[in-house]
Amino acid sequence: MKHLVIIPLVMLMGAQASAQEMNDRLDSLMSSIYPNDKPGAAIAIVKNRKVVFKKGYGIADLDSKTIITSSTNFNIGSMTKQFTAYCTLKLQNQGKLSLDDKLIEFFPDFIPEVAGTMTIRHLLTHSSGIMDYYDYVDKGRYTEFSDKDILPVIKSIDSTYFPAGSRYRYSNTAYCLLSLIIEKVSGKRFPEFVQDNIFKPLKMDNSDVIHHGLEISNRAVGYECENDSFKISDAKQNLFFSTRGDGGIYTSIDDYLKWIMAIQSGKVLNPHLTKEAQSAQFLIDSREDISYGFGWFIAGSGEDKLIYHPGSNSGFRTIVLMKPSQEYSVVIFSNRSGIDLEDLVRRVNKICQIDDKAYVKSEAMTS
C-alpha cells in the first residue's frame, strides 16, 4: 500500500521540478533581453487556464526609475482591435447593426462610389481597400489626431486600393471608422462603450481607452531604442498616437489576463462572439494557411490552430498568442522598440514545449 502512495508523490515532485525548470529558463531569457536598468517588458503565460508565469522586467519610466510589474499599464497598440471587433459583434448580436451594412449608411457624406461598396465586415477583416488616412492629413493643422478627425480627411477620397472584398490590406483607418460606427449606433462614446461592455464586466479596473483628460495611473512611458540609447516616443511625440479604435487601449498584464481567462472559459463574455472573432473570416494566404478573423490573425487549423496579434504604437510593442487546443496563451507588453516580439514569443513557446509550426510572422501583414 505504501508503494501506491510513493509513486504519485514521485510523479508530483517530477512535475514540480519540470515547472520550476521552465520558469527558470523563461526568467533567464527575459532577463537577458530586458536588463533591469532599461525600458523593458511584462509577460504572462497561461496553461490549462492557470497562470504559470507572470513577471515584469526593466524600467517603466527612466525619469522616475519606476520598475515594470504585472500591474504596469501599457498602450497595447493594435491589440486594441480585438476589443473593437468584440464591441462591433456585440452590437450585431443586439440587432443594432449588421456586418453587411454599407458604410454609406453611417457616413452619408462619403463618396457613394466608395462607401456604397464597403461593409462593416470589410472593415473588420482588412478587406475594404479604404485608403490610409496618414497620407492625406495636413500635419501642420493638428497637435493631436483622433478618430473623429479621420472623417473630413477621407470622406472625399474617390479612390481605393482595390475593390472591397477582393484583397487583404491591413488598415488602421478601418478600425478607426469602426469606433465611430459603434458610437453612432450605441449612442455612447467609444471609451464608454468599451468600459460598459468589456472592462467593467471583467473587472478590468485599471484599463481604459485614450480620451481627452484621461490620467493613466501606473503607466509605462514608450521609448525608441537607437544604438542602445533611448528617447521618449509616446503620445506627445506622435501625432497619430491617440486614435482609439485601432490602438487606443491602455491595460496591464494583470487586467489583460482577465480578458484571456474570459475567452477561454466562455464566462462573462459572449462565447459565440469570441468564437466568431477567433475564426477565419478572410483568407490572406492559402499557401501559408493564414487568415484574418475579427481583430485576430488565425494560422493553421485543428490541433495546430494559433490565434494571435501584435501591437505597435510609438515606443510600445505588444503581442498575444493563443493555442486553444492546449489552453495556452502568452502575452508580452513592452515599452521599447528594437526587440522582435514575434521571434521572442516563439522562443517562449519552445521553452513551454508548445508546437507553433503553424505560425506565420505577421510583420509583412501589418505594414
Which grid coordinates belong to 264?
A: 477561454
284 three-class SS: strand
Is 133 domain-assigned? yes
Is 58 domain-assigned? yes
> Is it the case that residue 367 has pLDDT exceeding 80?
no
87-141, pLDDT tens digit by residue?
999 999 999 999 999 999 999 999 999 999 999 999 999 999 999 998 899 888 8
| Whole-angstrom distance, CA of residue 316 vs CA of residue 208 | 16
Element (H, E) at 120: helix 120-124
Is 69 domain-assigned? yes
> Is it the case that residue 273 has pLDDT exceeding 70?
yes
Task: Work out the pLDDT band at 237, boundaries 50, 70, 90.
Answer: confident
Is 6 domain-assigned? no
352-364, pLDDT tens digit by residue?
999 999 999 998 7
Is 352 domain-assigned? yes
Q: How far is CA 61 from the centre of its chain?
A: 22
- Of 331 and 214, the structure prediction assigns the larger pLDDT to 331
Is 279 domain-assigned? yes
Could you tell me which residues are beta bridge partners of residue 229?
226
Q: What is the CATH number of the domain that holds 31?
A: 3.40.710.10
Is 8 domain-assigned? no
Look up the domain containing 85 and give its range: 16-303+327-366
179-200, pLDDT tens digit by residue?
999 999 999 999 999 999 999 9
Is 194 domain-assigned? yes
pLDDT of residue 132: 95
Q: How many domains would you assign to the chain?
A: 1
pLDDT of residue 2: 47
**pTM tops 0.85, yes or no:** yes
pLDDT of residue 104: 97
131-176, pLDDT tens digit by residue?
999 889 988 888 888 999 999 999 999 999 999 999 999 999 999 9
DSSP-assigned states of every residue in 22-89: HHHHHHHHHHHHS-TTSB-EEEEEEETTEEEEEEEESEEETTTTEEP-TT-EEE-GGGGHHHHHHHHH
